[in-house]
Amino acid sequence: MEAAESSTTPEAGQVAKNLVDTLSDGTKVKRRVHRQRACNEPAAKGKICAGHLKRWYFFPAEVQAKFGSQAEVYRCEHCRTLYLPADGEQPRTGTLSY
Ligand SMILES: [Zn+2]
């Protein structure tokens, strides 16, 4: 129960909510909030992206190096922002084989 909101980079122009990292190709890596299923990246005209977050297994070596080869990674199918599970969220393994 700690607020880690203040650790974002000060020069970030936009609201980088829950931003964890940015990959060398500019892909953002964010932490999901609990039960989040849709992307909350800002999109055009003050809307949010709202793309579907899909479990992503074939992440590149850079992601693997940062978060581990067994990392649970989700990717927005719209803007390709990556998402990590929320803190304390149970990983959904086992029954889902896709
Ligand atoms: Zn998105």
What three-state secondary structure class fits 53?
A: strand
Q: Is 22 buried (19+), middle (13-18) or exposed (0-12) by CB count in 10 A?
A: middle
CA of 89 to the centre of ligand 1 (A): 21
CA of 42 to the centre of ligand 1 (A): 8
What are the C-alpha distances in Å from 21 to residues 17, 31, 95?
11, 9, 30
The answer to whether the beta carbons of residues 12 and 20 sit under 8 Å apart is no
CA of 52 to the centre of ligand 1 (A): 7
CA of 40 to the centre of ligand 1 (A): 6
Mind listing the pLDDT tens digit for each residue in 36-92? 999 999 999 999 999 999 999 989 999 999 999 999 999 999 999 999 998 776 666
Please determine, for residue 6, whether its predicted confidence score (pLDDT) is greater than 50.
no
CA of 53 to the centre of ligand 1 (A): 8
What three-state secondary structure class fits 23?
A: coil
